[in-house]
Amino acid sequence: MDPTRRVRLGRTSVEVSQLGLGTNPLGGMYEPVSPETAAAVVDRAYDAGIRFFDTAPVYGYGNAERNVGAALARHPRDDYVLTTKVGRLLLTDGPAEREDVMVLWEGEQLYKGTEDVRPYFDFSYDGAMRSVEDSLRRAGTDRFDLLHIHDPDLYPEEALDGAFKALDKLRSEGTIGGIGAGSNQWEVLATLARRADFDCFLLAGRYTLLDQTGLDELLPLCVERDVAIIAGGVYNSGILSHPDPGSIAGVRSDSAAIGSWTANVTYNYVPAEGEVIARAGRIKEICDSHGVPLMAAAIQFPMHHPAVPVVLMGPRTPEQVDGNIEVFSFAIPDALWSDLKSAGILRPDAPTP
């Protein structure tokens, strides 16, 4: 696969590289990330031909947008696609029932090195418009090429009645090239697809080697309606990027050990449980038998579905950018996919070569 090949997102005129840069880690996920490191990551991806950069206000409570915007400002604006999201406002104070502080484990915060703001859900029309203006300011850019409604799981009606109408206005004016929604839950995206005119969805973690529940309804629906799926979370927040997931110990129960957990021993952002660890270890054994890196199978698998033209990587160092590009391009024999199906790892209805 060619990470730099340009593909169109659904029915839009927005063209992106097949491999995009997801910037959640560049907001300080798990550990602080300096602007210099973030810039080095963006530059390495850009120099390699990556032209799709996705961010969000909640990633580091504004840090990712600032870091990515500053790094991309050195490059011609028409040469890349930049997307962000609406649905949370970053405030010093807001309604307690709408606060969405990202907590990992025993109260541990997901993002490190953040400013003194917190995210509050707001899917209203005015909230979405304010979010866009705030993001433009933080990123220091004149436009976003596409906007997503972010995690509307708890507020789908508000998202449809408010945020979608705001983004639809921007789309009709030509201010943005398309409307998407991003979530870790396929169910809410299927609901949105049936009820409004979306161009794409960012589906995180629900179409991977470990979790193919997106096949239940969402992906077939998107093929039917020509809605592009941007596959995120292909390593399920880390475990499928671990060099030997079968060696990971089970869930740690003492909060004092939180600091020892790193990004590549988690599943859905928390320490992986025994059954998941065992399945990931089995996947690696099958990959090893074919001489294929686990990460290569993980990052390429979603691309075989006709609804999925793009995969996002989420590196936090320039070296990880190189590693992701290498495994995205790795030649995988068809027999690997057959063996994963025979082992019950992949569903029989999952498209593979």
Where do we find the tokens 């928390």? Answer: 270
Length of the chain: 353
**Over its length of 353 residues, how does the chain's per-residue pLDDT go in tens digits?**
999 999 999 999 999 999 999 999 999 998 999 999 999 999 999 999 999 999 999 999 999 999 999 999 999 999 999 999 999 999 999 999 999 988 776 678 889 999 999 999 999 999 999 999 999 999 999 999 999 999 999 999 999 999 999 999 999 999 999 999 999 999 999 999 999 999 999 999 999 999 999 999 999 999 999 999 999 999 998 899 998 998 875 444 343 343 444 456 788 887 888 899 999 999 999 999 999 999 999 999 999 999 999 999 999 999 999 999 999 999 999 999 999 999 999 999 999 99
- At 259, the amino acid letter reads G
- At 255, the amino acid letter reads S
Where do we find the tokens 């309804």? Answer: 217
| Residue 270, pLDDT score | 79
Whether the Cβ atoms of residue 69 and residue 141 lie closer than 8 Å to each other? yes
Residue 109 dihedral angles phi and psi, to the nearest 5°? -80, 140
Where do we find the tokens 């890349």? Answer: 80
d(C-alpha 79, C-alpha 81), whole Å: 7
| Nearest residue to 208 via CA among 180, 186, 182 | 186
Q: Which string of DSSP letters, residue by residue, matches 163-216?
A: IHHHHHHHHHHTSSS-EEEEES-HHHHHHHHHHS--SEEEEESSSSSS--GGGT
The two structure tokens encoding residue 270: 């928390």
Q: How far apart are the first and last CA of the chain?
A: 13
Report CA Rg, the chain. 19
The two structure tokens encoding residue 71: 């790094």
Cβ count near 174 (within 10 Å): 7
Whether the Cβ atoms of residue 296 and residue 234 lie closer than 8 Å to each other? no
Cβ count near 104 (within 10 Å): 17
| Residue 249, pLDDT score | 54
| Burial of 349 per CB tally in 10 Å (0-12, 13-18, 19+) | exposed
Strands 179-183 and 146-150: parallel
| Nearest residue to 293 via CA among 244, 255, 249 | 244
E strand spans, 266-316: 266-267, 270-271, 310-313
Q: Which string of DSSP letters, residue by residue, matches 284-295?
A: HHHHHHTT--HH
Q: Helix 63-72 vs helix 35-47: angle between axes, to the nearest 10 degrees?
A: 50
Q: Does the predicted model carry a pTM greater than 0.85?
A: yes
| Residue 256, pLDDT score | 38
d(C-alpha 77, C-alpha 99), whole Å: 34
Q: Which residues contact 169 (CB under 8 A, 6 or more apart)?
A: none
Which residues are designated catalytic?
A: 54, 59, 85
